Amino acid sequence: MTDNSKLESISDLLRRDVIEMTTEAGSGHPTSCMSCAEVFSVLFFDEMNYDPGDASNPGNDEFVLSKGHSAPIWYASLDRAGAIDEELDSLRKLDSHLQGHPMPISLEWVEEATGSLGQGLSIATGEALAAKKQDRDYHTYTVLGDSEVSEGQVYEALELASYYDLDNLTAVVDVNRLGQRGETIVGHHMNWYRDRFSSFGWNAEVIDGHSVQEIKNAFENSHASDRPTVILAETVKGKGVSLTEGEQGWHGVPLDEGEMQDAFEELPDPEMPEVRIPQPEEQEKPSFQEKKVDMRTYEQGEVLATRDAYGNALADLAEARSEVLAVDGEVSNSTRSEYIKEDNPDQFVESFIAEQNMISMAQGLSIKGYEVFTSTFSAFISRAHDQIRMAALSEAEITVVGSHAGVSIGQDGASQMGLSDIALFRALRESRVMYPCDGNSARKMVENAHKSGNMDYIRTTRPETEVIYGPEEEFPIGEFKKVEEPEDTDVVLAGAGITVHEALEAREMLEREGVQAAIVDIYCVKPFNSYNFRRFVESNSGKLVVSEDHYPEGGIGEMLGKELEESNIEMRTLAVDKIPHSGGKQELLENCGVDRKAIKKQALNLVEDS
């Protein structure tokens, strides 16, 4: 245990560090750091077990800074611990590893991008759950701000951490009372906080957040509890400097040079005390089992939904690799991720109807070595758009699977139809978007996502479709399939998923009128080999009809329009350009103008205009 006087000295030094760092940067959040200086001092120099010389030590306790704007005090703590060798006054500079908010691409001690508030507790929940599943001893800590406790996702994480009995998870809320523009919704009513967190089954400790002894005691109590623990630390924003202490108007505002010098007159300036940081027990990285499993395949002519093929492929992959996890938002009987439970129930995690928490928790699980396939209806993925965005910034390696895509789901109506999901995932850096049209291509999409190292999205459909590819067909990432290629092509019909089958039907209708159509399956929307596609269309009439069960904005037609804008290809696009109604699958495809009849009409218009 580190002596209290040493921890108090470190708190003073951390306050000086963050003031100097943010003044030099000319921006940042010094007062949000100053309120939690004692918490960081105790965490990093007394409580947490970690090896300052090895960020990847498998025995290290996990730390998530949910209040990402307080990054400077994390950097200062790591610097004082000897964990990093950075110039602290380089904060927020273009060539610095110390970004304004934590980013994994810049610093090895940072495993998740934070700063979009409310997400850290969910990530920490995933990391703590991973420890339980792997039977490992590390503890997970996270620090939240009191303003972010207004975020609904925090409560999604609270209920799930309690459900899974995560007594290896400790959250600290820095209750400094002041948000960006004034007092928070709860202020310093600490009993309100205690009652709120306790009602979710957490052990709640209310303390003076500037007393190192009370902080120590609270951590000790957390280890004795059989519940997840939240330490509600009553603090003062801008603590230690009379100009800022408890004053409004200082959120995200650095001190100027003169104010910094005045502050340094008030703040003690001790020597950095010698401390011994608790070292982790030696642990091996988690080991996962691997065995040979034959993935299920389908014969041409069979009929099944791509969601069923996805569920089968996921179950087979889980049987082969023990690190594969299915995480689902209480719709696993529809997404078919429940198939994994038949033989490997321990490789399924129920996140219930809490999609924001589901994505961030999946990110936490992936950080600890799991290969996560997380699924819900494609329409509900939009609820977690920001969580997906932040996971992409973290370079998280997770696969998101959206089922029940498009109007083809039928009578459930527009609220259940995913019609903007392709746009969402296309907009992410380094993402991959896959859209299979039959059972064998769906199986290969799962195989493509396996160990891809990317943020992947697989879009599946509810209705059954005919298997058009043989079991041995390959589906390289970035390419497309030439399903039909007549000798003398009059027009090319391109689709994805359900509209591949509509294009095939349109082809037969056109053939009866003497028009020959080639069929292209755009099974990989991103990345896309536009060079090869352009060459194919140009060598097959130069006329193209694209149909998709998605809104025009951000969809496949828009993607192709951008990729082919400098070509001489004549292109017509069909997409769902209205708010759909309830109805049958075929009725809706026709009503929304993306069915075989609409494809045929556009194809004939192109051919006749030439």
Which CATH number characterizes residue 529's domain? 3.40.50.920
Each residue's pLDDT tens digit, 209-222:
999 999 999 999 99
Task: Tell me the CA end-to-end span of the chain in Å, nearest whole number.
Answer: 83
**Are 341 and 251 in the same domain?**
no
Enumerate the active-site residues: 355
**Are 448 and 580 in the same domain?**
no
To the nearest whole number, what is the mean pLDDT of the chain? Answer: 97
- Whether the predicted pLDDT of 610 surpasses 80: no
- Whether the predicted pLDDT of 29 surpasses 90: yes
Strand locations in 467-542 (E): 481-484, 491-495, 517-521, 524-526
3-state secondary structure 31-75: HHHHCCHHHHHHHHHHHCCCCCCCCCCCCCCEEEECCHHHHHHHH
Q: What percent of the chain has pLDDT over 90?
A: 97
Element housing 206 (H / E):
strand 203-208
DSSP code per residue over 397-465: -EEEEEESBSGGG-TT-GGG-B-SHHHHHHTSTTEEEE---SHHHHHHHHHHHTT--SEEEEE--SSEE
Which CATH number does the domain housing residue 342 bear?
3.40.50.970
Each residue's pLDDT tens digit, 367-393:
999 999 999 999 999 999 999 999 999
Last residue of a domain, one of 466, 498, 515: 466
pLDDT at site 287:
85
Q: Rounded to 5 degrees, what are φ and ψ at 348?
A: -120, 135
**Are 599 and 560 in the same domain?**
yes
The structure tokens 């924001």 sit at 356
Each residue's pLDDT tens digit, 397-437:
999 999 999 999 999 999 999 999 999 999 999 999 999 99
Nearest to 457 by CA among 481, 483, 477: 477
- Cα 40 to Cα 31, 179, 306: the distances in Å are 14, 20, 49
Nearest to 544 by CA among 552, 532, 536: 536
In a domain, residue 291? The reply is no
Last residue of a domain, one of 414, 443, 466: 466
116-124 mean pLDDT: 98
- Whether the predicted pLDDT of 349 surpasses 80: yes
443-455 mean pLDDT: 94
Each residue's pLDDT tens digit, 224-255:
999 999 999 999 999 999 999 999 999 999 99
CA dihedral (35, 40, 42, 45) positive or negative: negative
In a domain, residue 430? The reply is yes
Neighbours of 291 (CB within 10 A): 8
- Whether the predicted pLDDT of 528 surpasses 90: yes
- Whether the predicted pLDDT of 582 surpasses 80: yes
Q: Name the β-bridge partners of 521.
A: 481, 495
In a domain, residue 512? The reply is yes
**Are 101 and 245 in the same domain?**
yes
**Are 490 and 461 in the same domain?**
no
Q: Rounded to 5 degrees, what are φ and ψ at 571?
A: -125, 140
76-81 mean pLDDT: 98
Neighbours of 295 (CB within 10 A): 17
pLDDT at site 495:
98
Query: How far is 445 from 286, CA to CA, in rounded Å?
Result: 27
pLDDT at site 87:
97
pLDDT at site 209:
98
In a domain, residue 259? The reply is yes
Each residue's pLDDT tens digit, 588-609:
999 999 999 999 999 999 999 8
* Containing structural domain, residue 555: 481-609
Nearest to 299 by CA among 453, 45, 471, 419: 471
**Contact (Cβ atoms closer than 8 angstroms) between residue 49 and residue 59:** yes
Nearest to 210 by CA among 222, 201, 218, 199: 218
In a domain, residue 58? The reply is yes
Query: How far is 570 from 132, CA to CA, in rounded Å?
Result: 57
| CA angle (193, 220, 139) in 5-degree steps | 85
- Per DSSP, the three-state class of 509 is helix
pLDDT at site 231:
98
Tokens for 521, please give them. Answer: 């399956």
Query: How far is 8 from 565, CA to CA, in rounded Å?
Result: 64
Helix axes 596-609, 498-511, angle to 10 degrees: 50
3-state secondary structure 209-269: CCCHHHHHHHHHHHHHCCCCEEEEEECCCCCCCCCCCCCCCCCCCCCCHHHHHHHHHHCCC
**Contact (Cβ atoms closer than 8 angstroms) between residue 109 and residue 84:** yes
**Are 462 and 488 in the same domain?**
no
Neighbours of 131 (CB within 10 A): 20
pLDDT category of residue 312 using cuts at 50, 70 and 90: very high
In a domain, residue 147? The reply is yes
**Are 414 and 455 in the same domain?**
yes
Q: Name the β-bridge partners of 93.
A: none
In a domain, residue 272? The reply is no
In a domain, residue 471? The reply is no
281-305 mean pLDDT: 92
**Are 443 and 547 in the same domain?**
no
**Are 489 and 555 in the same domain?**
yes
pLDDT at site 286:
85
pLDDT category of residue 326 using cuts at 50, 70 and 90: very high
Last residue of a domain, one of 466, 489, 505: 466
pLDDT at site 283:
84
- Whether the predicted pLDDT of 282 surpasses 90: no
pLDDT at site 199:
98
Structurally, how many domains does the chain consist of?
A: 3
**Are 193 and 75 in the same domain?**
yes
**Are 151 and 254 in the same domain?**
yes
Q: Which residues contact 95 (CB under 8 A, 6 or more apart)?
A: none
Each residue's pLDDT tens digit, 82-98:
999 999 999 999 999 99
**Are 82 and 146 in the same domain?**
yes
**Contact (Cβ atoms closer than 8 angstroms) between residue 94 and residue 44:** no
- Whether the predicted pLDDT of 451 surpasses 90: no
Q: What percent of the chain has pLDDT over 70?
A: 100
Per-residue buried b or exposed e for 57-79, using 16+ beta carbons within 10 Å of the residue's own CB: bbbbbbbbbbbbbbbbbbbbbbb
Each residue's pLDDT tens digit, 153-193:
999 999 999 999 999 999 999 999 999 999 999 999 999 99
User: What is the pTM for the complete model shown?
Assistant: 0.97
Nearest to 275 by CA among 61, 138, 143, 83: 83
Identify residue 293 by its one-letter amino acid code. Answer: V
